[in-house]
Amino acid sequence: MPTLDGLATATGLRDLSQREAPVSEEGRTLSPVMVEALWDTGLMNYLNAPEAGGSEPSIREVLDTWIEMAWQDGSFGWIGIANLPSTMAASAYLPEDGFKEVFGDPDRRTTVAGQFFPNGTGTATGDGYVVTGAWNFGSGTGHSEYVAAGFLPIVDGEMVIDLTQIRAALVPRDEVTFTDGWHVQGLRGTGSYDYSIDEVFVPESRCFPLFTREPQRGSSPLFRMGMMPVTAAGHAAWALGVSKSMLDDVQELAQTKARMSDMETLARRNTFQRNLAHFTGMWRAARAGVVEVFVEVERVVAGGEQLTPHMRADMRAAATYATEAAREVGQWAHLAAGTTAIRQGSRMERAFRDLYTGTQHAFISEKTYIDAAQIWLGLEEDLPGI
């Protein structure tokens, strides 16, 4: 199967994604046209193991692709960092029987989405788990055939309270109860529905350990980095993409916009010039930090070395910093654009809402700084949550 150029492919969707963004927002899930485009271009399978139609791109290629998708539309970009890693994990980590069930039919369009945090329990039966629980913010579940559900096992009547034992179950969507709840400020087009599962049997073959870094197939270093680092890369790239769209849009706007009682356009005001240079520099530094850390970790893992807690801390801290920097960049661009940025339905207004919604995610909260620093300082040998 030929290797897909993710960045070029995503860039080719710019016009379509702009037309469909309002449709996704109104429907509160990615529009059918955009879902179809992801399949038709091959982007939906981009990160998968080759046996599941994937291209095994480098982390640099993935970051660039995600930044481009988020630059086009926050909801489109968020689907990229939700569906693609979830399906990637299923393709790489499922046992062989489960892989054949989920991905075995080449004519079947298999997409995975959901919440991997262990909001559920799974009673071990010997050949699988009876899973019960309720999960929030299942991004991408509006169009996904399988829904992921993180759970803690119950073995011999005792819950296994150990983060390293968290498992992910893949449940067919017709066995899931969707309670929706996705009425939000931003990222409206992501179909991030709440859902529950009530005593559904999931065979062992459709489960895998959340923190595994031992792929059953494929040779990509990303599979041996694991879901957590790939998810961190996604959050960083998404925030960088949305904020870059705001930087680009306000720079274009500045050529013609003059604030009330001001005789000159924004582009000719020294304050705007200074801030444009400053926040562009901040954006570039944040992106460079993410690329440096993730590319280096990929290089080390590709060379056969194991991922260390220090490496994981480096990646999480880089992702959190990039998110915070992106939020500052977006805030300045929004303020600089003035009343243009508050027009409902405009690209700038949507990006601002998306940015301040997506950066609320717990995955890139200040706790990641604290956890990373504790590892760097030698206060903790390892923290599974990082």
Is 57 inside any structural domain? yes
Same domain? For 372 and 286 the reply is yes
Least confident of 12-26, 335-349, 365-379: 335-349
Q: What is the pLDDT of residue 3?
A: 86
Q: Model confidence at 185, in pLDDT bands (50, 70, 90)?
A: very high
User: From CA 78, how far away is CA 312, in angstroms rounded?
Assistant: 22
Q: What is the pLDDT of residue 163?
A: 82
Same domain? For 97 and 179 the reply is no
Q: Model confidence at 152, in pLDDT bands (50, 70, 90)?
A: very high
**Chain mean position to CA 367:** 19
- pLDDT, mean of residues 333-348: 92
Is 219 inside any structural domain? no
Same domain? For 234 and 204 the reply is no
Same domain? For 237 and 343 the reply is yes
Give the residue ranges of DSSP H helices in the chain.
6-11, 14-27, 32-41, 59-72, 74-93, 96-103, 221-225, 227-253, 270-302, 309-337, 347-358, 367-376
- pLDDT, mean of residues 10-38: 98
Q: What is the pTM of this model?
A: 0.96
State yes or no: pLDDT of 2 exceeds 70. Answer: no
State yes or no: pLDDT of 136 exceeds 80. Answer: yes
State yes or no: pLDDT of 259 exceeds 80. Answer: no
Same domain? For 78 and 117 the reply is no
pLDDT in tens, 215-244: 999 999 999 999 999 999 999 999 999 999
Same domain? For 97 and 117 the reply is no
User: From CA 371, how far away is CA 386, in angstroms rounded?
Assistant: 7
Number of H helices, E strands in the chain: 12, 8
Q: What is the pLDDT of residue 78?
A: 98
Which candidate, 283, 267, 263, places its Cα nearest to that of 324?
283
Q: Own/partner pairs for 266-271, CB < 8 Å, 24+ apart?
A: 266/336
- pLDDT, mean of residues 17-46: 98
Pick the last residue of a domain from 103, 132, 148.
Answer: 103
Same domain? For 346 and 230 the reply is yes
Question: Pairing relation of β-strands 112-124 and 146-155?
Answer: parallel
Residue 92 maps to which CATH number? 1.10.540.10
pLDDT in tens, 297-313: 999 999 999 999 999 99
Q: What is the pLDDT of residue 345?
A: 84
* Total number of domains in the chain: 3
- pLDDT, mean of residues 115-140: 97
Q: Model confidence at 352, in pLDDT bands (50, 70, 90)?
A: very high
Pick the last residue of a domain from 163, 182, 209.
Answer: 209
Is 317 inside any structural domain? yes
Is 220 inside any structural domain? no
Q: What is the pLDDT of residue 124?
A: 97
Q: What is the pLDDT of residue 258?
A: 85
Residue 245 maps to which CATH number? 1.20.140.10
State yes or no: pLDDT of 1 exceeds 60. Answer: no
Same domain? For 362 and 258 the reply is yes
Q: Model confidence at 261, in pLDDT bands (50, 70, 90)?
A: confident
State yes or no: pLDDT of 106 exceeds 90. Answer: no
Residue 186 maps to which CATH number? 2.40.110.10
pLDDT in tens, 167-180: 999 999 999 999 99
User: From CA 353, how far away is CA 98, in angstroms rounded?
Assistant: 39
User: What tokens appear for 149 in the block?
Assistant: 């559900």
* CA 343 to each of CA 29, 77, 171, 247, 266: distance values in angstroms, whole numbers, following the listed order: 22, 22, 41, 17, 18
Pick the last residue of a domain from 54, 76, 103.
Answer: 103
pLDDT in tens, 281-296: 999 999 999 999 999 9
- pLDDT, mean of residues 8-18: 98
Is 221 inside any structural domain? no
Q: What is the pLDDT of residue 26?
A: 96
Q: What is the pLDDT of residue 289?
A: 98
Q: What is the pLDDT of residue 354?
A: 98
Residue 129 is part of which domain span?
112-209
Same domain? For 61 and 183 the reply is no
Same domain? For 348 and 370 the reply is yes
Is 85 inside any structural domain? yes
